Copies of this chain bind each other. A is one copy, B any other.
Amino acid sequence: MKHKVAIVGAGQGRFGVREDASQRELAFEAVAAALKDAGTTLKDVDSMVTAVAADEFSFALQPSAQMHDYLEFFPKANFRVEGACASGSMALRVGWMTVASGLADVVLVLGAEKMTEVSTSQATEIMGKGGDAIWEYPFGMTFPGFYAMVARAHMAAFGTTEEQLAMVAVKNHFYGSQNPLAHMPKEITLEKALNSFMVAYPLKLYDCSLITDGAAAVILASEERARDFAKSPVWIEGIGTATDTMRIADRDALHTLRATVEAAKKAYRLAGIGPEEVDVATVHDCFTIAEICAYEDLGFCPKGEGGAFIEDRQTYIGGKIPVNVDGGLKSKGHPVGATGVAMAVEIMKQLRGECGSRQVPGAEVGLTHNVGGSGQVVGVTIYKKD
């Protein structure tokens, strides 16, 4: 990368059904945690960028301004960045650019979504419009349906099994149970996952991520400022963003996300590393099949071998590459606008060795992978320990 930008503070509030907090209050929690982590205050922050995925969850046209106001950050800059469920990673990209371009030295990147003020079916409808809103959504296509097709295509091409899908859920709930900020911090058995009710064949309840309220924040700093904060910085070494067709029927294959492959290529090239050098990753497990595809599309295992990869426990701590040891979208939860930022929070804490029972020993290089819509936009970011 042409410029060095560090994460100097990271924080997340508790994910869950947060009837106790509004979106702005969730934002406040996360920002307060990030500031505390950095040992600083908002006075020392020059600029801000906010990720929110949907107007409709916020009942507002300008949700970022509501949170900015609650933080009393005026008159300093803030606006919203949106890339559906990859909004958080796009905001991180913009935060990185704000520092790298010299516009600001210390930047707050916030992601927040309050999804449970509408019903689960309404939330599924709202999210569904993140796919093609002309040719797919009006005809009944929402995300469970899309990922069910991805799973079927993967099973047909590579022999992936329903058990292997369920194993992703078991792993992520195992680690989520060790994360006090997770939405559903409880272990599940393979039987429980396989016997849960069918949502869209072959995806069952436990193959699906959660509809969650939550917020996360990171504080970025320039190379000159990176050592002025409480703890050691973590460096952003590679940022890749790539896109694909709006309409899934326009794609060559369903069992791969081209945007993931391309975004990863860019990020690896900028970081000057390959997938074998990644010690810990958070990937976009909005559905269990998405995590299996991510293993392959990010180069953690060859194409088609993602099912065997989880079956062999290669993505557990001790395996080849521990993935979603924070619980992932599956157990930690998926407040869409916050997700990409929360992934960066986890990697920051892993690379600092602060994750307790779910710490990946000796982790020096981390990766986050965040998917918007049905893969229309993907952000891959690579981080290195100081």
Asked if A197 CB lies within 8 Å of chain B CBs, one says no
Asked if A68 CB lies within 8 Å of chain B CBs, one says yes
Report chain B residues within 8 Å CB of A76: 242-243
Report chain B residues within 8 Å CB of A63: 133
Contact B77 A373 (CB under 8 A): no
CB distance from A377 to the nearest CB of B (A): 6
Report chain B residues within 8 Å CB of A61: 53-54, 84, 126-130, 133, 373
Asked if A223 CB lies within 8 Å of chain B CBs, one says no
Contact B244 A62 (CB under 8 A): no
Contact of A101 among B3, B132, B241, B376 (CB under 8 A): B3
List CB contacts (< 8 Å) of A183-242 with chain B.
239, 241-242
Contact A133 B66 (CB under 8 A): yes
**A250 to B192 CA separation, bound complex (whole angstroms):** 53
Report chain B residues within 8 Å CB of A103: 97, 100, 239
List CB contacts (< 8 Å) of A79-96 with chain B.
79-84, 86-87, 90, 93-94, 96
List CB contacts (< 8 Å) of A1-47 with chain B.
2-3, 47
A interface residues (Cβ-Cβ under 8 A, vs B): 2-3, 47, 53-56, 58-66, 68-69, 73-84, 86-87, 90, 93-94, 96-98, 100-103, 126-130, 132-134, 239, 241-247, 250, 258-259, 262, 372-373, 376-377
Contact A73 B2 (CB under 8 A): no
- 14 residue pairs A–B, Cβ–Cβ below 8 Å: A61-B128, A61-B373, A62-B82, A62-B372, A65-B243, A65-B372, A68-B243, A74-B259, A75-B244, A77-B242, A79-B81, A80-B83, A97-B101, A100-B102
**A116 to B73 CA separation, bound complex (whole angstroms):** 34
Nearest CB in chain B to that of A77: its residue: B241
CB distance from A125 to the nearest CB of B (A): 10
CB distance from A360 to the nearest CB of B (A): 29
**A227 to B246 CA separation, bound complex (whole angstroms):** 34
CB distance from A62 to the nearest CB of B (A): 4
**A376 to B370 CA separation, bound complex (whole angstroms):** 29
**A134 to B69 CA separation, bound complex (whole angstroms):** 12
Contact B247 A377 (CB under 8 A): no
**A124 to B79 CA separation, bound complex (whole angstroms):** 22
Report chain B residues within 8 Å CB of A68: 243, 246, 376
Contact B81 A65 (CB under 8 A): no
Contact of A74 among B2, B58, B127, B243 (CB under 8 A): B243
CB distance from A205 to the nearest CB of B (A): 23
Nearest CB in chain B to that of A5: its residue: B101
**A373 to B250 CA separation, bound complex (whole angstroms):** 37
Report chain B residues within 8 Å CB of A373: 61-62, 65
Q: A55-B56, A62-B82 are in contact. List 10 more A-B contacts (CB 8 A).
A: A3-B102, A65-B83, A69-B376, A74-B258, A77-B243, A78-B243, A79-B90, A79-B372, A80-B83, A97-B103
Contact of A97 among B94, B133, B242, B250 (CB under 8 A): B94
